[in-house]
Structures are given as structure tokens and as C-alpha cells.
Chain A
């Protein structure tokens, strides 16, 4: 399997419970944030994004919360399912260009039956 994520923090949740995955960012000028999901052996997949002028954004079973005061981003997954098992990481950028994203190392989510 992939060697990615050997040293990643792990979050284990029971199937059906809600999951909260956290991300701290360092650049107070960051203006745009994305959460990605990366399943084993696959490339990252866009989940949801949020601009710095928002505190909260909801998608299908996912919610992203942004706290600019403490430079903290969280991803909430409702009713976690086995298919949610993956590495989740955030990305931030201070400007409008896709080549300037800074990616976090991620958190491994394991869903227990």
C-alpha cells in the first residue's frame, strides 16, 4: 500500500457517529481553504471549500468551520460511514492562484464497524 500517512495522527470513530477533523494553519493572510479526501492508493479528491469571509459552509454530510482568530479549520462529517475511511487534509492559499496552495499533512480517519 501507499507509504503516505505513516506518521499521521489518527481519528477512530464508530460507524454512524459524527467525525471532527481539525487543521491549524499558520498564515493569517490565507484567504481560501479546501478540504481534500485521499483514499488509500488514490489521489486527493476535493470535498469542500470556504473563503475567509465565511465562518461556516455546508455540503452533503460535511461542514467546514473556519475560525480566523485562532487560525483553525475543521471538517465535520455527519453519520460517518465505512466509505469515509481515508486521509483528510486541508489546503490554504493567501491569494488567487492555484499554484500557491499550502497543504497540511492530514489526519487518518478510521471508521469502526
Chain B
């Protein structure tokens, strides 16, 4: 049982390049989330999904797209990276969307946009 895994762990992009971050969970969770974490700030929700085939915007969705084609995977895409997207990205999953359901976080992807 690996929990929540993220690929890659670290990436450097040039402004304008695109990339996809992959999140996978093996806990059969319905809900999945993408957050970004910036120095001195709390986690901020980018997008989330309440089940396979569904996605919704969070607090800071601009510049990102997501897809949930399979229940176990949640992809975060950057179509044209900008330096403001330099951050640490965390994926999380939970069994349901109820607040009492613990969100399990992946180890993070550190992204540097030059």
C-alpha cells in the first residue's frame, strides 16, 4: 500500500514550457486534491475532483488544468509555465469529501520555473 505518490519529485522548467504532474493513490479514494505551497503561506487549493471524470476549481486555478480519467490518478497540467508557478505542489486524497475524512498527502513535487 503506497498511499499517495507523486511524479516527478523535482522539475525545472523554462517560462512557456508545459508539463504534467501525476498523482496516484491506491486507497480507492473518491476525492483528490491539488494544492500549492509557497514560502510563508499556507496550502492553497488549485483544483479538486469528487470522483472519476469530474473536476472542479479551487482557490487558485488560473494557469492550471486537471484531469481525472481514472479513479486512482489525478493529473495537474501547466500549459505555459510562468515564474509565479514556482512552488511545491502537493496532491491529496480522501475517502469522501466530508471534513472528518482525513486527507492523505503525497510527498510533493518541487517545481522551479525560470
Contact = CB atoms under 8 A, between A and B. Distances in A.
B58 A42 contact: no
A42 B106 CA distance: 8
Contacts, number: 76
A105 B90 contact: no
Interface string A95-111: 11111011111100000
Contact of B88 (A4, A93, A97, A102): A4
Contacts of A49: 100
Nearest to B35: A103
Given A2-B110, A41-B107, A46-B102, A103 B33 contact: no
Nearest to A31: B99
Contacts of B31: 98-99
Interface residues of A, number: 29
Nearest to A89: B42
A42 B41 contact: no
B88 A7 contact: no
Contacts of A8: 40
B42 A102 contact: yes
Contacts of B44: 103
B94 interface: yes
A53 to B, nearest CB: 14
Contact of A99 (B39, B41, B56): B56
A5 B40 CA distance: 6
B37 A4 contact: yes
Most chain A CB inside 10 Å of its own CB: which residue of B42, B96, B101: B42
A105 B37 CA distance: 9
A28 interface: no
Interface of A: 2-8, 32, 41-46, 49, 89, 91, 93, 95-99, 101-106
